[in-house]
Amino acid sequence: MATLRDIKRRISSIKSTSKITRAMKMVSAAKLRRAQERMFALRPYSDKMREVLQSLAQPGEQDIHPLLRVRPRKTVEILVLTSDKGLCGAFNTNVIKAAEQLMNDLKGEGFEISVSTVGRKARDYFRRRNITIRESWTGLSGNISYSTVQGIAADLMNKYIDETFDELYLIYNEFKSVVVQNVTKLRLLPIGGMEHDEEGEMKDFLFEPAEEEIFSRLLPKSVEIQLYRTMLESRVSEEAARMTAMENATKSAEDMIERLTLEYNKARQAAITKELMDIVGGAEAIKD
């Protein structure tokens, strides 16, 4: 049975932990607000660029730019977006599970798999399971800049053009609300094969300057923007998940403190009662 001193030490330790989790929740809330502002500012631009490309990229124009070209699938790359740090609930676990499921499905269909990662959690997870990682990027949590994303996008586009892989999927957490983040699968490359008018009508556009020049500028920019958006979505989701996890941890600590305080009071009352009984017993013995 725990002594009064042991219970008091546990209460003190849990109170210290509660202070830490409460502080981490406040930090995550501040980071979340800043990251949300960037994400919400980018969403309309990203959606409009995708809409423009859906209008311009006709099925018969795959040869205009290699990023439009749809090749027979042999190797599929999966880019898994996780965080560098933990303490964010099931944020990383859900993404990794979805990536493993996609890997198994594609392998079952006979495709070769190439894996790249953003974040230490995914990198370390796959390394521990002896899964070859083509490329990994770490240290980006809280430090996502467009110039960094351009470097990652350039690597992905070059490898696609060089036919290192024939298709690219992103697995990441899409932000819905502070308590809801949905694991999302997005095909980033090839850009070809987009939806067109329901009636299948082909639209004619007059390009100025040349069509090839427009696509050579617009398509790489689109890949950068879509990747930048997914990384911002993942970043916001990470902070939302961490804030929720720290809030739950703080509540659990408070519940434990309340339970241990009750246990401490009961043990203290029992000790006092025992001392009183000893005193009464001693007094009765003297009388006898």
> Which residues are marked as active site?
88
Tokens standing for residue 224: 């950068």
3-state secondary structure the chain: CCCHHHHHHHHHHHHHHHHHHHHHHHHHHHHHHHHHHHHHHHHHHHHHHHHHHHHHCCHHHHHHCHHHCCCCCCEEEEEEECCCCCCCCCHHHHHHHHHHHHHHHHHHCCCEEEEEEECHHHHHHHHHCCCCEEEEECCCCCCCCHHHHHHHHHHHHHHHHCCCCCEEEEEEEEECCCCCEEEEEEEEECCCCCCCCCCCCCCCCCCCCCHHHHHHHHHHHHHHHHHHHHHHHHHHHHHHHHHHHHHHHHHHHHHHHHHHHHHHHHHHHHHHHHHHHHHHHHHHHHHC
Separation of alpha carbons 169 and 159, rounded Å: 13
Of 43, 42, 19, 56, the C-alpha closest to 197 is 56
- Calculate the alpha carbon distances from 108 to 75, 92, 102 in Å: 13, 24, 10
